Amino acid sequence: MEAYQSALDTVTGPSEGAGVERTLPGSISALCVSYYRSSRFTGLATNTQHKYRLVIDKFRAIHGHLPVSGLEYRHIVKLLDQQKKDEYSLRRTLRILMTHAVEQGWRRDNPMAGMRRPRKTGEGFRPWSEDDIAKFEAHWPTGTRQRLALHLLLYTAQRRSDVVTMGRQHVKDGRIAVAQAKSGGRTKLWIPIHQTLQAEIDQAPRDQLTFVQTQYGQPFSPAGFTNWFTDAAQVAGLPPRSAPHGLRKAAARRLAEAGCSANEIMSITGHKNLSEVATYTASADQERLADQAMKKAK
């Protein structure tokens, strides 16, 4: 099949989706095709590629016939104003495409340069509180799949896409190996296994490839895991938005409250910059500094 595709590519060029052969040179559609062929895109994790393509292909379907060279700052402002609901995603998409256009020599300037990033509204996934965790544990006793899933999320601070692949083959010398899916496996971590998590792992079946499986004995997909775990949280009496990612936030919060530095937290979560964990450490630092301040008050 690889040889067959290679032969096709010599005639038609690499396949990048419907309509490639109809793209106009120098058009936004052609720019999208060029970006899809670039190492910047192909080096992304599969799920990230899919997320980017959803936005890019939507933009391409409407504006693909327009010339890249004609896109100006005022056009972008108007486009963003018209897309208030998806403004953040569209802004990121245009920034990626225009950067690629400059790198490939399609433009001399980047119309996105100097444009301020919008503030994200809301907190995203709802962080789990200690009361949430206690309520979940009270309903799902030790030895259940739900309790094991909770502790895998809480004591590794990883995303659902990494938790669903964890198994005994990843455990060695009291640590669990993680090659984070979001980075395409490039971010590798060795996380010490907390004794509370170890107690649940010890009770898990030893004849399955992953720690947590479906009722049919198959590994979960990330989306399937989220649906199953969110349902388990609701059964335990938690609010509807109690998603797995909220436990990643709770794990980082716990580390911050324990006095861990941002760098120490990053060594567990796998974040790449300090700003991504600053929200967790800021809250914990505020409480600690406030306690110290009140002790000094006369």
Residues 151-171: pLDDT tens digits?
999 999 999 999 999 999 999
DSSP label at residue 260? -
Start-to-end C-alpha separation, the chain:
79
Per-residue pLDDT for 297 more than 90?
Answer: no
pTM recorded for the entire structure: 0.68
Cα(79)–Cα(170) distance, integer angstroms? 47
Q: Cα dihedral angle (238, 212, 166, 230), rounded to 10 degrees?
A: -20
Distances (CA, A) of 251 to 16, 100, 167, 236, 265: 40, 37, 20, 20, 9
Determine the pLDDT at residue 157: 96
Determine the pLDDT at residue 21: 46
pLDDT in tens, 10-55: 544 444 444 444 568 899 999 999 999 999 898 887 878 888 999 9
Q: What is the average per-residue pLDDT within 238-259?
A: 91
Q: What residue ranges define each of the domains in the chain, with the CATH number in brackets?
A: 15-103 (1.10.150), 130-296 (1.10.443.10)
Q: What is the average per-residue pLDDT within 182-191?
A: 89
